[in-house]
Structure 1
Amino acid sequence: MNILAIANQKGGVGKTTTSCTLAYIAANDGKRVLLIDADAQCNSTDTSRVNSDGVSTLYDLLINKDSTDCIQHTNFGYDIIAGDPLLRDADKLLSGFADVFVLKEQLENERFASYDLIIIDTPPALGTLLMASLTAASHVLVPMTADRYAAQGINRLARSVADTQKYTNPNLTCCGVLLTRKARPTKLSQKIETGLPELAEQLGTTVLEVAIRETVRVREAQAAREPLMEWDNTCTAAQDYQMLYVELKSKGVL
């Protein structure tokens, strides 16, 4: 089983779109896929059209150690553990060093053994939930946009990845930096893109060959509460994600 964490503490870089789209493509490639929404904003949960109210969620799995009925089936081929607004208090409730292992320990339960791939949509913050996700993962994928703040955030994420590899998960590998929302080049974006290989080196990885082009179809899919591939599998971003899937599959990540 491969466990892929999609991580960047900066919001708006395409973590949820990447998580849901890769889950959709992998499921339609014949894999049994579980998506975990580790973000209190519950965007992957919303996109997947499942509930976070009145059902067992990731909060129950992590805080109450209860995996009963935490898995929901979607209409898009993959299963999901829903996010929960209560996860915003996770750093207070999971404050001990041992707590970063809680997700890893739960996923070792035999009920998760039948999955070929688990994808974790991590929260946009450097905290216990991110560290727990990295500790549970075999790989981490880092989406980022070509802007100054996204580039600056890589330094802090690199330290989190390095700490995880040193203290809690020596087998974690960063499978690449993914450029998202790639639009018509500007002087600033070109400068940042030129510096991407150096940023990727901080994570011990490289920039992926595929970049995801900007398109209004992504926002339309979000508004429609559908994975991008379900909304429009012919748009430029959908084509790019198909190529990303092939690239990551060739690396043994998916």
Structure 2
Amino acid sequence: MPGNGRADAALPAVVDRDSWQAQLNELLVREKAHTREGDAIAAARRRLPMVEVDPTTTLIGPHGPITLLEVFEGRRQLIAYFHMWHHGQPAADQCEGCTFFNGQVRELSYLHTRDVTYATFCEGPYEASVRYRDFMGWDVPWYSAQDSAEALLAGREFGLLVCYLRHGDRVFETYWSTDRGSEVMAPSYGLLDMTVYGRQEIWEDSPSGWPQHWKNNGGQFRTDGRPSAQWSRLAAGRSDDLGHPHHR
């Protein structure tokens, strides 16, 4: 796999520890400013107005139709990720970006302690898409938004992160983000950003000779033709059969 243990990649300069720490301290000033700006943006986000949405909008879950209000599971807030779905396609051809982002949201207990529910609203039909969830080994609440997409998205497209607030039996949308805004879901990117070679994607500002193998076109999330995370599931013996004919 490209970038895996490449011995020919360029190296940073080698200096003594005091010199290294001095430059790291300079960077730390910028990092702290970046953190404070993030805090200020979050504070502004908390002061946004909100828009009311229909709480009776119906999704499909494991027990059939369920309203948006019921998806809250009694909690005050809801975060929903709108997972893209390629209709009639096999698991190998499902959205690599949504697989990357949605698959890294695993431990929900900390959200629950803040009165927040997390759920996936998938573009595809419930039966096929939940097979994909189970193949991937995800245990987040999963619903099909296939028939309610127009009402929920209001002209937007899947690949979206949306925050909702419940007040009694009323539901409001308070925030949404997409594209790089979804990176908050992916600690892998945050960890890679701390490494010397970064994400190894060609758009990054890196020194000459640094490994940069992937374009920002979806290929960065795939290995040998599949979303990268699927390979370990296949190796574990899980079936990627989605229960419909494969159309290519």
TM-score by length of 1: 0.26
**1 or 2, which has the higher strand percentage?**
2
**1 or 2, which has the higher helix percentage?**
1
